Structure 1
Amino acid sequence: MLFDIPFPKALTTLLYLLIFLPRISGIALPYSRAGKPAISPIYEFPNGTWVENIAVRSNGNLLVSLISTPELWEIDPFGPDRPKLLHEFPERHGLFGIIELSPDIFAVITGVFDLSDVSYTPGSSAVWKVVIKHGKKVSVEKITDVPEAGLLNGMTLVLKNPPTVLMSDSDLGSIWRLNTETKEYAQVLSDETMTWPPDVPSPIGINGVRKLNDYVYYVNFVKGLFCRVKVRKDGTAKGPYEVITDELSFPDDFALMQDGTAYIAGNPSNSVFRVTPGGEVTTIAGGANSTLFASTTSAAFGRTRKDRGTLYAVTGEGNVIGLEVKRL
């Protein structure tokens, strides 16, 4: 069985027409405006490139996953060097979530696409380990397939030893746990705040997911939610599922500050939202007519002294952008 899924240009045509326009007509986008951050375009991929997710190496370089082609790229946000292709995954795979397991060791989610009709194959999700040796040489191996999953999408580290990740399932409306060493996996979290309404044609419920302290934070793409749940060390729920805000317009992936403030990609609202721990939503960049932030998909903070106050955002139009958010 195949179902429609966002893809370059098709998100703003196929899915936008089917889902977003009927819903967005009843949703106002005038969130209060925060002070505008300084914005620095970092790189623009060729037309037709959909950048899905981003992680940051300890040396400051950006790793970006593409959904339009099965490729993982590395970008130096400070230097003049062109982006470097680190690895090309199997044909017809698109890349979704990416997370660091330990220094220069990353996990990446892939899934199979049918490019002829812009569809995704449920049950095709796989998780891979990417090791960057000595800062340069790259080795890649499959950790496991997850055929029981619908559409694995976002990913976060829940346990460092052994390296264990949580993965959002946008189709089934749940979160899976995967021990990357034993390769054992199971569904560990499920709630109505993660599911998608039955009256929409494409199953995109829970999307981005992040762990901070004792909580797992997540968004629901179609329902416009930003939520959290207190968890045990194994990723199972320890407390109630909490809705921080229900006023987002199609949130995608996001980055978290230590105080719980979230910077959330708005896709296809072409925006970056700031959500306080109390649920106040502000638009800090982009807007309905923005081309630079068109189809913003994910965000991550810099990790060096030079860019710890910089939020890096990526988009479905192939843009990689830096935003100075330290003083907002």
Structure 2
Amino acid sequence: MASFTWSGFLCLVSLISSLIQASHQSLPLPIRDIYQFSIPTYIEGVYVRSNGDLIVTTVWPNASIYAVCGATTDAPTISLIHAFDEIGAVTAILETQPDVFHFIGGNQSSLGFGIHGTYGVWELDLRPANGTNYTKSTIQELVRINDGGFLVALETVPDTPTTLLVSDSTNGVVWRVDTLARNYKLGIQDVNMAYPPWGATPFGIDDIHIKNGYLYWSNSYEATIYRIAITDNGYPPAGAVSEVFKAVRALFLDKFSFGPNDGDTIWVAANANSQLVAITPDGNATFVAGVSDQMMLAGPTGTAFGKLKGDTNTVYVITGGGLVSPINGTVIEGGKIVAIDTTGFF
């Protein structure tokens, strides 16, 4: 039997400490369930308010907007803000000024197939309720984009927050919507926004974000993040050409966000893979959460980072429950909201 030495004991303690640290930084990142809807709910939009509340939207089996309060606690609560009769899908939502949100709403012939000319930009105003009582909100459609196809994401123009850029996955363009004048026009058209001819559905450009002087977008079936230089007025400068930022070995990329703390890493939902991908500024892509043949992250559709102190390293991920790409070809569940701690990635 080996004899005991203090130096050997200290070496053992050091080794255990190193293993604990390595384990903390290991993948996949930990997932915590926040709330799960019943089958067949498909969640498509998510936004995190400055007070920590999550605003989520559904596209199936109906169009609804919900508020999730207390997402950082052990007992989060969810409340219905509005369920729509006139439209069947709310694909994205964004706060454009304090307590005022703009969102995209329209109709589908079936899940993932938008009906041409039915989508537009709507407004959700929480100011009558002082931003806290969700049942007293007001909702109205501002601009119907009659030339539009399946509209899926929106972003504010940097120098004019009342003007929005709206991605159109079927037409492969970005519309420019003036919410004050209540009109729209073509904003950006690029060959890398179009859907590939081999795609299972006519779905090209998906999510859009402006970051560091570029407009970034995901092309879903190409599983690629593209970008193009963009000015503060929301147009590419003369001669600007789009470029591949990162092509991911995935089946279908959905929506994404930058973070944490407004950082430069992209966190994108790999829907058909049932995984979350992190793309660092140097273009390195890593599958950081979820397993393709398990239900932990079945059909993730979007991401958004926490904003409360102590929660900024949390990325909230919404899912469609695998309704489009069932786990192992057959297993589905109701869409859910999960929290993923990204601290171990860095």
TM-score range, shorter chain: 0.7 to 0.9
Across the two proteins, how many residue pairs are aligned to each other?
Answer: 295
Rounded Cα–Cα distance in structure 2 between residues aligned with 1:261 and 1:46? 32
Aligned match of 1:107 in 102, 109, 116? 102
Deviations 1:149-203 (A, max 9, x none): 1111111122364512111110011111112111221222121211112233411
Q: Secondary structure in 1 aligned to 2:28?
A: coil
Contact 2:63 2:84 in 1 (8 A): yes
| TM-score, scaled relative to structure 2 | 0.81
Matches within 5 A, 1:78-97: 78-79=72-73, 80-97=75-92
Decide whether aligned partners of structure 1 residues 65 and 50 sit closer, same or farther in structure 2, where only a CA change above 3 A counts.
same
Aligned-residue identity in percent: 27
Rounded Cα–Cα distance in structure 1 between residues aligned with 2:227 and 2:249? 15
Rounded Cα–Cα distance in structure 1 between residues aligned with 2:26 and 2:142? 42
Rounded Cα–Cα distance in structure 2 between residues aligned with 1:119 and 1:78? 35
Match of 1:125 in 2: 119
Rounded Cα–Cα distance in structure 2 between residues aligned with 1:148 and 1:264? 28
Match of 2:8 in 1: none
Deviations 1:57-115 (A, max 9, x none): 11000000100111000002135353100012234421101111012211110111235
Match of 2:41 in 1: 49
Match of 1:246 in 2: 247
Q: Secondary structure in 2 aligned to 1:268?
A: helix
Aligned match of 1:314 in 318, 323, 326? 318
The amino acid across from 2:224 in the alignment is L
Give the CA RMSD over aligned residues.
1.8
Deviations 1:117-167 (A, max 9, x none): 974311111111111231213111111100101111111122364512111
| Alignment gaps of 5+ in structure 1 | 1-32
| Alignment gaps of 5+ in structure 2 | 1-24, 322-334
Rounded Cα–Cα distance in structure 2 between residues aligned with 1:232 and 1:218? 16
Contact 1:129 1:140 in 2 (8 A): yes
Question: Comparing both structures, which one devotes a greater share of its residues to strand?
Answer: 1
| TM-score, scaled relative to structure 1 | 0.85
Rounded Cα–Cα distance in structure 2 between residues aligned with 1:289 and 1:121? 32
Q: Secondary structure in 1 aligned to 2:192?
A: helix
Match of 1:296 in 2: 300
Please report how far the alpha carbon of residue 290 of structure 1 lies from its aligned counterpart in structure 2 after TM superposition: 2.5
The amino acid across from 1:78 in the alignment is T
Rg larger in structure: 2
Q: Secondary structure in 2 aligned to 1:278?
A: coil
Q: Which moved more, 1:301-310 or 1:240-249?
A: 240-249
Match of 2:277 in 1: 273
Decide whether aligned partners of structure 1 residues 34 and 241 sit closer, same or farther in structure 2, where only a CA change above 3 A counts.
farther
